[in-house]
A and B are shown apart, each in its own frame.
Chain A
Amino acid sequence: MKGAVLWLAIVAAGVATFAIKLVGHLLPRHWLAKPPVARVAALVTVALLSALVAVQAATSNGRVVLDARVAGLAAAAVALVVRAPFVVVVLVAAVVTALLRWAGLP
């Protein structure tokens, strides 16, 4: 994706996410406040974010690749366990991965 196509996708995705927020404000309360709806929505978020973790950490160009990123991610998990703030978690992953690459790992 580049240029005009990328812009178009950004605008379309922005409009879609705003429309989703607005729907919640406009629909009658009892339509969305059902436990099964809430459960499915929560699980969809979990599934998408978890799949994105995996794709971002362990794939390159359509292949599964295990490299320094996985170690960086493990370090981030440790940071989360000790309740580090979000920015620190992200930084820890970057620093550990960068150091391992500097030491010669792919």
Chain B
Amino acid sequence: MRQALSVAVATGLYGVSFGALSVVAGLDVWQTMALSLVMFSGGSQFAFIGVAGSGGSPGAAIATAALVGVRNALYGPQVAPLVEARGAHRLLAAQLTIDESTAVGTAQRDPTAARVGFWWTGAGVFLLWNVFTLLGALLGGAAGDPRRYGLDAAAAAAFLGLVWPRLADRAAQVVAGAAVVVALATTPVLPSGVPVLLAAGLAVLVGVLWRPDGAGVPRAVAARVSSERRSP
């Protein structure tokens, strides 16, 4: 449970940057809070405001957010046997199934500790993520011209921080490099938001064709959680 709380605090804190950047991207405080309450998946939320803020279509924003969230579907089969939830509880467990709660839950040896770890991490992150999103949204609204404070670069850094722990293996590094090239090369000729989706298509292609060292989701997530635990 101590691990759950420290992960919740570390993750919740960066809700401040999401809240501020969301308002800077053109969403109001209510829309920002709707994303943190309903979508509740950091990567998807940053992706949504990134596409929406740069003039992307609704379809591109929805597709990008959903695709970034696809990994959460793969956590379900790991989490479901740990929590054994039924009915409304199962809906709640699904909503709280994110990188952090999955990593903490699956890292426990004892079944009770796994259940406690999942629920406390999920609930803790949910609470703090939303509180800090609100704080960030209020701060972001007061900031004025976002460029003057370098908040456009902060948004780029947020994506870099999210992808960083997932670059452990070779295939991921190659895909990351190719995604950057594809996105920049096609930006002048395609509507905003589409270059990012094109990069996802490329990843599917590489993932299907390249059968190497097994770029596993759990490993990337474990790296992320352990790096967050190391931080003060």
Contacts and interface: CB of A to CB of B under 8 A. Distances in A.
Interface of A: 1-2, 5-18, 20-27, 29, 31-33, 35-59, 61-64, 68-69, 72-73, 76-77, 80, 83-87, 89-99, 101
Nearest to B13: A87
B54 to A, nearest CB: 6
Interface of B: 10, 13-14, 16-17, 26-27, 31, 34-35, 38-41, 43-44, 46-48, 50-52, 54-58, 61-62, 64-81, 85, 90-91, 93-95, 97, 147-164, 166-167, 171-172, 175-180, 182-184, 187-188, 192, 195-196, 198-200, 202-204, 206-208, 211, 214-217, 220, 227-228, 230-232
B203 A27 contact: no
Contacts of B172: 42-43, 46
Given A24-B75, A47-B199, A50-B180, A59 B163 contact: no
A41 B17 contact: no
| 3 residue pairs, one from A and one from B, having the closest CB atoms | A24-B76, A97-B150, A72-B153
Nearest to B36: A14
Contact of B160 (A61, A89, A98, A99): A89
Contact of B44 (A13, A23, A42, A77): A13
A41 B202 contact: no
Contacts of B214: 35, 39
Given A16-B65, A76-B160, A54 B183 contact: yes
B187 to A, nearest CB: 5
A25 B78 CA distance: 9
A13 to B, nearest CB: 4
A72 B187 contact: no
A34 B112 CA distance: 26
B171 A43 contact: yes
A76 B161 contact: yes
A73 B157 contact: yes
A96 B153 contact: yes
A94 B171 CA distance: 30
A46 B47 contact: no
Given A46-B203, A62-B192, A85-B228, A21 B95 contact: yes
Contacts of B66: 13, 16-17, 20
